Amino acid sequence: MKTPLAAWENTWTTRLGAYFPGERVVLRGRDLFTELKDLSWIGLLIYGITGNIPDQKSVRLLNGIWTLATSYPDPRIWNNRIGALAGTARSTATLGVSAGIAITEAVVYGLQPVLGATQLLIDVRERLDRGDELADVIARRLEQPCDDNNQRRLAALPGFGRPVSSRDERIAPLMRLAEELGFAQGSSVSLAFKIEETLLQSGRSKLYLNVAGLMAALLSDQGYTPAQQYQLCVLCSSGGMLFCAADAAAQPQGRFFPMRCSSIKYRGKASRQWKTDET
């Protein structure tokens, strides 16, 4: 009797596409070299993930999110530091950027808050459709206790609040772009700002909308599912990592934020001597 996986042995069934050596490449039923040749890379990304050829406004929106919100050239930023460390250690930019992308799966920063903000908007809208008041919905979210001992969990309101500064400097330029493209009044964007207004009116002066919340709202209004939003943003921080890797590689080796052992103020257990059964 064959195992359930036997039917998949030596075969792969997919509607995504295929490479025909020496001939052509097909992506979702369209020829890459003829039918998709005029797509930008961002346009190709949207098409490959969603199966829909995007219009220019949708391409400009995602391109603007990547450009304005996610690729700062500062090696002090947690994932950029990985790129800079790769450059200063004379590793490769590929390894530095790959490692930086891996840690962008962070719970506090990065992709998880975008997913969390998307789900928050969905949940809040469902509650409002049932007749609940927004202030009550937000209050209940904030009062929910942590269900385990893991301290590194998504905030009660992902997409709101910021540890670096209370106001997120990326909101204004992204909203200017959204206004230009005609996306500033989308239902999810409007809901995100209503949540912010409700939080501020309740005295929570530090819980402004952050860029993860605005990204989630803008992409939700484009009709992208939570999974698609995640996939569209997997590489969005790679620019900053690459910039920092190249910058550190151009500096003398090992000069990126060196630290002497004497500068480390250790307060843990004292040094211990490892012993074996023979001693």
Q: Give the pLDDT confidence of 232-243 residue by residue, as tens digits.
A: 999 999 999 999
Could you tell me what percent of the chain has a pLDDT over 90? Answer: 72
> Of all helices (H) and strands (E), which one includes residue 25?
strand 24-27
127 and 39 part of one domain: no
Report pLDDT for 170: 95
Q: Which amino acid, one-letter code, is at 97? A: V
Tell me the angle at which helices 78-88 and 93-103 cross, rounded to the nearest 10 degrees: 160
d(CA 188, CA 221): 6
Task: Tell me the pLDDT band of 278, cut-offs 50, 70 and 90.
Answer: low
Task: Tell me the pLDDT band of 146, cut-offs 50, 70 and 90.
Answer: low
Query: Minimal CA–CA distance to 226: which of 118, 94, 113, 117?
Result: 118
Whether 241 maps to a domain, the answer reads no
Determine the structural domain holding residue 192 and report its residue range.
Answer: 111-233
123 and 31 part of one domain: no
145 and 228 part of one domain: yes
49 and 128 part of one domain: no
Tens-digit pLDDT profile for residues 93-133: 999 999 999 999 888 788 888 999 999 999 999 999 999 99
Please state the rounded mean pLDDT for residues 6-30: 91
Asked if the model's pLDDT at residue 158 lies above 80, the reply is yes
Could you tell me what percent of the chain has a pLDDT over 70? Answer: 95
Contact residues for 160 (Cβ-Cβ < 8 A; gap 6+): 195, 196, 199, 207, 208, 209, 210, 213
Whether 154 maps to a domain, the answer reads yes
30-31 β-sheet, strand order: 17-20, 24-27, 30-31
Report pLDDT for 227: 94
Q: DSSP label at 209?
A: B
Tens-digit pLDDT profile for residues 76-98: 999 999 999 999 999 999 999 99
d(CA 70, CA 185): 23
Q: DSSP label at 39?
A: -
Whether 134 maps to a domain, the answer reads yes
Q: Quickly list DSSP for 147-177.
A: SSS-S----SSTTB--SS-SS-TTHHHHHHH
159 and 46 part of one domain: no
127 and 45 part of one domain: no
Task: Tell me the pLDDT band of 177, cut-offs 50, 70 and 90.
Answer: very high
Provide the domain count of the chain: 2
Whether 29 maps to a domain, the answer reads yes
